[in-house]
Amino acid sequence: MSGAASAPPVALRGQTVAFRADPFLDDPSRSLVHERDGLVLVEGGRIRAVGPYAALAPTLPPGTELVEYGDAIISAGFVDAHVHYPQLPMVGAYGEQLLEWLDTYVFPTEAGFADAEHAARVARFFLRELLRCGTTTAMVYCTVHPQSVDAFFAEAERFDALMVAGKVLMDRNAPANLLDTAQRGHDESAALIRRWHGRGRQHYCVTPRFAPTSTEAQLDAAGALLRATPGLFMQTHLCENRAEIDWVRELFPRRGSYLDVYAHAGLVGRRSVFGHGVHLGEEDFCTCHAAGAAIAHCPTSNLFLGSGLFRLFDAVEPRRAVRVGLGTDVGAGTSLSQLQSLNEAYKVAQLTGHRLHPAQGFWLATEGGARALHLEGRIGRLAAGADADLCVLDPRATPLLEFRTGFCGGIEELLFVLMTLGDDRVVRATWAAGRCVYDRDREGDPFSYAGA
């Protein structure tokens, strides 16, 4: 955040929404903090103060720029806990479930990232679409090609956006042009870690795609990478599809479960995020709780591929709560908008006998995602001391929203309407490290690099 450190202070005025507690563990209504006329003071890339406008305005430092957002809602930026940037060119691919979908659509698409110029073009578009949707941090799968990682981090660095990403590891059960080896995957990942991990706001994530495309030797090498460099992240897929689970059982007959495959290789711990977890059992939840590992709930993807219904409320059961974030999982997911993900998450909860309160929904998309990544306190929070990663939501963004929100009786109903009727059009502005990197209403290019 070197550029942000020298920027003059700025104050954002509008409605503010934050949390005083986890709404899955406390009363959802009490957990929500709403200021009808709020102010957020940003200085040096961080939030310095949040509170009522009337109380904070007289205390602003001299020269503070005031940005007026009217009745728009200022929130912490959204956190996407699971997404594949190289799959954006084939999002919305027809007719297959997971394993067939990989063979038919994903692998041919990812092969194109051998071309560094293609990788840079897709990364540029992807980062802009994330920001357009109000997402300021994402845990991102690249491809097996190191240049796909370089392209992604280079573009994220230009926006000074905090991102977590890594090179996919695959040494079997994939097309030959997408395979590495256990040793090459290790060495290429190690070089990328030296180049990118901790550089500015970028963080490296060791990324075996999923157990069927890695040998035990490669999974062990992934574990060695985690042990060699403190603070690394790990992401992979887990129990998404029943045919996948059966395949894992055949490939790893000596392991007690799918999750045990990863645990044996040292891949289950803090900063480990497992995508989907649709078919996890109680023992798996207990293991994740004890290890501090997290699950990325990807409702649009699970519905689109027919994978099943994630048992969110079982996962967060207070006696052994598991950290859960919200993932778009594009390209199996059908939108990069976390509002659209919440729309589907609500329906999945209904189908499993639960009601997802709007406070719980917005928690998943912000503080819950930060907790899943063990970055709580730094991102996902509208609170003093947190990084100034923000999104501004316009409750009148479409004619339908303008009409419907006129009948809302309070902030909870308003948030629920936004998470069921909203999409990228709702996002008025996105701020990363204290700079406005996306402004929907800006003339010309709505995007701005952090140094511009």
Per-residue pLDDT in tens (0 to 9) along the chain, 452 residues? 445 656 789 999 999 999 999 999 999 999 999 999 999 999 999 999 999 999 999 999 999 999 999 999 999 999 999 999 999 999 999 999 999 999 999 999 999 999 999 999 999 999 999 999 999 999 999 999 999 999 999 999 999 999 999 999 999 999 999 999 999 999 999 999 999 999 999 999 999 999 999 999 999 999 999 999 999 999 999 999 999 999 999 999 999 999 999 999 999 999 999 999 999 999 999 999 999 999 999 999 999 999 999 999 999 999 999 999 999 999 999 999 999 999 999 999 999 999 999 999 999 999 999 999 999 999 999 999 999 999 999 999 999 999 999 999 999 999 999 999 999 999 999 999 999 999 999 999 999 999 76
CA–CA distance, 418 with 433 (Å, rounded to integer)? 25
CA–CA distance, 446 with 9 (Å, rounded to integer)? 22
Kindly report whether the global pTM for this prediction surpasses the value 0.85.
Answer: yes
Question: Tell me, what's the pLDDT at 140?
Answer: 98
CA–CA distance, 42 with 437 (Å, rounded to integer)? 14
Say if residues 11 and 67 touch (Cβ distance below 8 Å). Answer: yes
Question: Tell me, what's the pLDDT at 47?
Answer: 98
What length does the chain have? 452
Question: Tell me, what's the pLDDT at 2?
Answer: 47
The pair of structure tokens assigned to 262 is: 């990863």
**CA 36 to chain centroid:** 28
- DSSP letter (8 states) at residue 9: P
Taken in order of first residue, the domains within the chain and their CATH numbers are 2-77+381-439 (2.30.40.10), 78-372 (3.20.20.140)
Please compute, for residue 173, the number of CA atoms within 13 A of its CA located in the half-sphere on the CB side. 17
Contact residues for 132 (Cβ-Cβ < 8 A; gap 6+): 336, 424, 427, 430, 438, 440, 446
Contact residues for 345 (Cβ-Cβ < 8 A; gap 6+): 297, 299, 312, 326, 356, 361, 364
Q: Which residue in this structure is represented by tokens 């994740």?
A: 288
Q: Which of 140, 136, 161, 159 minimizes the C-alpha distance to 149?
A: 140
Task: Count Cβ atoms below 10 Å from residue 359 Cβ, excluding itself.
Answer: 27
Say if residues 309 and 392 touch (Cβ distance below 8 Å). Answer: no
CA–CA distance, 313 with 181 (Å, rounded to integer)? 39
Contact residues for 51 (Cβ-Cβ < 8 A; gap 6+): 35, 38, 39
The pair of structure tokens assigned to 321 is: 């709560």
CA–CA distance, 280 with 133 (Å, rounded to integer)? 30
CA distances from 60 to 9, 11, 55, 361 (A): 9, 8, 10, 32
- For CA atoms 139, 84, 296, 440, give the dihedral sign: positive
* Number of helices and strands in the chain (H, E): 19, 16
Question: Tell me, what's the pLDDT at 7?
Answer: 76
The pair of structure tokens assigned to 319 is: 């006696």
Question: Tell me, what's the pLDDT at 1?
Answer: 44
Question: Tell me, what's the pLDDT at 451?
Answer: 77
Q: Is the peptide bond before 410 cis (omega within 30 degrees of 0)?
A: no
Q: Which residue type occupies 25?
A: L
Question: Tell me, what's the pLDDT at 303?
Answer: 98
Question: Tell me, what's the pLDDT at 5?
Answer: 59
